[in-house]
Amino acid sequence: MRTVDWEQGVVRLIDQRKLPWEFHVAEYRDHRALAEAITDMVVRGAPAIGATAAYGMALAGLNSQADTLDSIRADLQAAARLLRETRPTAVNLAREIELQLKVAADPQWTTADQVRAALIREAHATADGDVAINRRMGEHGANLVSDGDTILHHCNTGSLATVDYGTALGVIRCAHEQGKQVHVLVDETRPRLQGARLTAWELDNLGIPFDLIVDSAAGHLIRSGQVNLVLVGADRIAANGDVANKIGTYQLGVIARENGVPMYSVAPTSTVDLALPSGDDIPIEERPREEVTCVFGHRVAPDGISARNPAFDVTPHRYLTGIVTENGVVYPPFEVSLRRAVMEGSSL
C-alpha cells in the first residue's frame, strides 16, 4: 500500500514508529488526531507529511458541520492553523495546507458540499502527483549513478518518506531497476533511526545490497575512498540552494567536498521555497530531549540531564554538486537554475 492513503473518508498511514518490528496501518477520521500523528512521526518525510496535511484538510472539510461557504471556510482556517503547527521545517506541509485553502476559496463554489468534494480531489491529485514526480526524479538522478557505485545515504527518503517510490532512495531504486550494481551505505540516523529502521527495511524488501553504518562512520568511509556518491533528500531548499535536511546532512556535505566526492540533494520542486533567500531563514524544528536521552523508551543517559535535539540542519549550497528535481538536475548558480526548474513545473 501507499504510505499515505484515503479510503472512504478515512486516512490510512503506515505507522512508521512501529517499523521494522510490526507493519501496522493506523486509521484517522479526524484531522486533529491526524495532526497528532504528524507530530508524533507516525508519518514523516517532507512529501509524505505534505500529502497527509492535504488529506487532513479534506477530513476537516468532511467533518465540518458547516452548511454555508463562510462557515466551512472558517472551519478550514482553524484546521489549517492546527496542521501548520505540527512540524515547521518541511515546507511541503505548509504548501499543501495553503493550496487546500486556495481550493476552498475558489469563487466557483456555491455550496459547502462542493468545497468538501474539491478538497478530496485536490488531496488525491497531490498524492498521485507525488508518485509521478518521484519516478521522474528517479530517472534524472539515476543518470548520475554508475555501475558499481557505492552510495552513502542519510535518513529515510524512500517510499515511506513520500506517498510512494521516494526521492534520494528513488534514485537508488531506479538505478537498481536499470540493472546497475549499486551498494548503499545506510546512515543509521540518530536519534529516530530512520536509516536503521526504515531505509534498511525498504532496501531489504527491494533486494538492493547495503550495509548499515553508525552516523559517525561516514567520515572515515568517505575519506578512505569507499564512497562514490552521497545522496540525501531535503525538507526545504532556499532560493540560493541551501538545503535543510535531517540533522547530520551538513557534516556529510563538508566531508564529501573535502574529499572530492559528489553530493546531491534529491527533492521535488514543491520542497523549494523561493520566498527564502538563504537557508539561514529556514525554521529548524527542535524535538523533545527524550529522543536523545532515551532509545525506544530505554534511558541511555543519566536521569534528568539536559540535552539538545535539533531535528534538521542546513547544508550551505557550496557543498552540493547539484540538486535533482523532477524537472532535471540543476547546478550552480542555484539562484538561477532552481528558479528555472520551479517555473518549468508551474508552466507544465
Residue ranges that bind ligand MRU, judged by CB under 6 A: 44-47, 90, 155, 157, 161-162, 167, 194, 233-235, 245-246, 311
For the stretch 273-301, what's the b/e string if a residue is b when 16 or more beta carbons lie within 10 angstroms of its beta carbon?
Answer: beebeebeebebbebeeebbbeeeeeeee
**In terms of CB distance, is 172 or 234 closer to ligand MRU?**
234
Q: Is residue 235 annotated as a catalytic residue, yes or no?
A: yes
**In terms of CB distance, is 31 or 246 closer to ligand MRU?**
246
Q: How far is the CB of 154 from ligand MRU (least distance, A)?
A: 7
CA pseudo-torsion sign 236, 242, 247, 248: positive
**In terms of CB distance, is 109 or 264 closer to ligand MRU?**
264
Q: How far is the CB of 75 from ligand MRU (least distance, A)?
A: 27
Q: How far is the CB of 92 from ligand MRU (least distance, A)?
A: 8
**In terms of CB distance, is 114 or 285 closer to ligand MRU?**
285
Marked catalytic residue, from 130, 149, 164, 235: 235
CA distance 221 to 165: 27
**In terms of CB distance, is 167 or 269 closer to ligand MRU?**
167
Q: What is the 3-state secondary structure (H, E, C) of 103-140?
A: HHHCCCCCCHHHHHHHHHHHHHHHHHHHHHHHHHHHHH
Q: How far is the CB of 236 from ligand MRU (least distance, A)?
A: 9
Q: How far is the CB of 119 from ligand MRU (least distance, A)?
A: 24
79: amino acid identity, one letter:
A
Q: At what angle do helices 69-84 and 91-105 cross, to 10 degrees?
A: 180
Strand partners, 27: 12
CA pseudo-torsion sign 236, 238, 241, 245: negative
Q: Which helix (H) or strand (E) holds 72?
A: helix 69-84
Residue number closest to ligand MRU, CB atom: 233
CA distance 189 to 240: 26
The contacts of residue 113 (CB under 8 Å, 6+ apart) are: none
Question: Which three three-digit cell numbers place residue 341?
Answer: 526548474
Known catalytic residues? 235
